[in-house]
Amino acid sequence: MADGPLIVQSDRTVLLEVAHPDAESARHELAIFAELERAPEHIHTYRITRLGLWNARAAGHDADDMLATLERWSRFPVPPSVSIDIAETVGRYGRLVIDRNRVEDGGEGELILKSTDAAVLAEVSKNKRIQPLLIGHPSPDTFVVDAWARGHIKQELLKIGWPAEDLAGYTPGTPHPIDLADEGDGRAWTLRPYQRQAVDIFTEGGSGVVVLPCGAGKTLVGAAAMAETKTTTLILVTNTVSARQWRDELLRRTSLTAEEIGEYSGQAKEIKPVTIATYQILTAKRKGEYAHLALLDALDWGLIVYDEVHLLPAPVFKLTADLQARRRLGLTATLVREDGREGDVFSLIGPKRFDAPWKEIEAQGFISPAVCYEVRVDLPAGDRLEYAAAADDERYRLAATAPAKIGVVRQLVERHEGERILIIGQYLDQIDVLAEALNAPKITGQTPVDEREELYQAFRVGEISVLVVSKVANFSIDLPEASVAIQVSGSFGSRQEEAQRLGRLLRPKKSGNTASFYTLIARDTVDQDFAQNRQRFLAEQGYAYTILDAHSLAA
C-alpha cells in the first residue's frame, strides 16, 4: 500500500497530511480541481466540488488527469464512488453546446443550444426557467435560443448541473492597432513563459479567467491579450488609482499613445479606443437607473477586460449577461468570492482558462518569497471584560481594534527598521490612532486621488518608509519595494482580502529580501476565529503561518 500524503474519502473530501515529504507536490496538483476548506496545523481538508471540476476541465484537465492525481498521492485506494462521480461530473461539461446556425451568406446565424444527448436536451428544455429562453426546435438535437438570452441560459444551465460550452463566437469589434512595445523605441520587453501561455490559452478559448498571483504581471497579460485581438477595448477596474496604473502600464508596454486611452471615472468621462472605467461608475445610479450604462455600447468593443474579477459587483454580472457576444478576459489572484457567486463568474465572464500556483511562480523567481506570521495579543483585563459584555455584532470590532495592538505594531516597525512597511487596517478611527502613534502618513477612502498617488510614489522611491492604509490599498496598487505588511484588522473572515494584502508584498525586490506578512490577532476572541478562515486560501497556495506570542517580540 502506498504511503502518500492524501486520504480520499467517499464524501468527496480529501485530507492532506501537511508534514508528509510529498505534501507540496500533492497540494500543487490537487488545488487544480479541489478547494481548501480547513487548514489547521497538521491535516488540511479539501473538497472536490462540481464547479472546481468544471473549471479544471475548461482549463484543459480531463477526468483521467484528476483521478491520476488522487491515485498517485493517496495513501489508501480511492473510493470507487468518488472515481465514478468525478468521471461523470467532468463528463457533463460540453455535453451541451451553445453555437450558431451556419448561414450561406456568411452572416450571423441564430443562437442555438445543441447536444448529441437527446435525453439531456429534453431535460433542460423542460426546465421552467430555461423553457422561456428557447424559441424554436428545428431539429431533434437543437433548440433556438432567444438572441438576448446567451448569458442567462448559461447561468440557468449551470444551476441545474449542465454547464454549456459556448462556441457561438464573438463580434470582432472595431479594429484598432495595438502592438507590444518593440526594440526600436527602447521599451522592449518579453512575456514570461507563464504569461505567454496564459495569453495563448485565453486567445484560443475566446473568453475566460486568468488566475495569477499578485505581482505576477496580470496587467501584462491584459496588454498582451489586447495586442493579440487588436480591437477597441473596455477595461473595468476597481478604482481610479488602478485606472491610472493601467494607463501608465499600457503606455510603457504597448504602442498605444495617451490620445488613444481614455479614463471613465468620477473624475473624467473620456471614451477612446481603449477606455478604462471603474466598477463604481458603471454601477452608479441616478433616479433608480444606471446612469452610465451607455458606456457599454459607446463603442463597438471587441474585448472587455475585468480586472480583479473576484470583486465584480453584483450589478455588473447583470450587465455582463448582455455582453456575451464580446470577448471577455477576467484577471484575478483568486477565484474565491465571499458572496458565493463563483458560478456567475464561470457562466458570464467565462471558465478558468489558466491558473499558476503562487509557490510555482515564486520558485521561478518571478515573485518574492514571503513568510507569514500570526501574532497573538492578550487583551488587558478591562478590555477583556468589555469584549465579554458586548453584543455579538460589536465583538469583532472591539477585538480587531484593541489598543493593545498599537505597542505590538511599534515593536514590529522597529524590528524591520530600514524596510518599506505597510500598516493595514479596516477601521478609520484605528487608522487615525496608528498614523499618529507612528508619526506616519495615512491613506483612506477619504484621501483625494492625487494625494494618494503622491504618497504611493513617495513610498516607492523611499522618501517615506512607513505608510498606514485602509482597505483602499487592498487592490491593484503597485508598491514593488514594500517588504513588510502588518495587518491589524480586516473584513471579518475574508480569504480574498488576505490574499490581496499578502500580494502587496510579492513583487520582486531589488534588495532580494524575503517579505514578511504579520497579522495581529486578539487571543481567545472572534478575531482569532476569523483569522483561521482568512488564511485558508493562502494555505492552499502553500503558505504556512508561524504563530508568535506578542510577548516574545519584546524579548
Same fold, 183-362 and 368-554: yes
Q: What pLDDT score was predicted for residue 547?
A: 83
What does the pLDDT read at residue 453?
Answer: 85
Here the cell at position 241 is 488609482
Residues facing 403 on adjacent strands: none
Which residue, 266, 204, 205, is CA-closest to 237? 266
Mean pLDDT value across residues 514-538: 81
Is 1's pLDDT higher than 50? no
Average pLDDT over the chain, rounded to an integer: 86
| 183-362: CATH topology | Rossmann fold (3.40.50)
Residue identified by cell 494618494 is 452
CA angle 136, 139, 143 (to 5 degrees): 40
CA angle 145, 150, 154 (to 5 degrees): 105
Q: In this predicted model, what pLDDT tens digit does every residue of 266-287 receive, in sequence order?
A: 888 899 999 999 888 888 888 7
Ordered strands of the 13-17 beta sheet: 6-8, 13-17, 43-48, 34-38
- Angstrom distance (rounded) from CA 429 to CA 517: 23
Residue 338 has φ and ψ, to the nearest 5°, of -75, -15
Q: 344-360, pLDDT tens digit by residue?
A: 888 889 888 888 877 77
The whole-angstrom distance between residue 241's C-alpha and the CA centroid of its chain comes to 18
Please choose, from the candidates 408, 461, 474, the residue with its C-alpha nearest in 3D space to the C-alpha of residue 438. Answer: 408
DSSP string computed for 455-483: HHHHHHHTS-SEEEE-GGGSSS---TTEE
Q: Are 209 and 202 in contact (CB under 8 A)?
A: no
The Cα–Cα gap between 270 and 261 comes to: 8
Top-confidence residue, 239 or 153: 153
pLDDT at 339: 72
* Mean pLDDT to the nearest integer, 220-228: 95
Q: DSSP assignment, residue 346?
A: I
Number of residues that this document lists for the chain: 555
Q: What is the pLDDT of residue 211?
A: 87
Domain ranges of the chain: 6-92, 96-162, 183-362, 368-554
Who has greater pLDDT, 518 or 205? 518
At 262 the pLDDT is 94
Q: Render pLDDT for 73-116 as a digit per residue (tens, 0 to 9).
A: 999 999 999 999 999 999 999 899 999 987 665 567 889 999 98
Q: 343-357 as b/e, with b when 16 or more CB fall inside 10 Å? A: bbbbbbbbbbbbbbb
Share of the chain above pLDDT 90, in %: 40
Higher pLDDT, 372 or 495: 372
Predicted confidence (pLDDT) per residue in 132-175, tens digit: 999 999 999 999 999 999 999 999 999 999 999 999 989 889 99
**pTM, rounded to two decimals:** 0.80
Distance CA 346, CA 207 (A): 10
Q: What percent of the chain has pLDDT over 70?
A: 92
Residues in a beta bridge with 262: 275
Q: Domain 368-554: which CATH class?
A: alpha beta
Residue 147: which of 157, 137, 156, 134 has the closest Cα?
A: 134
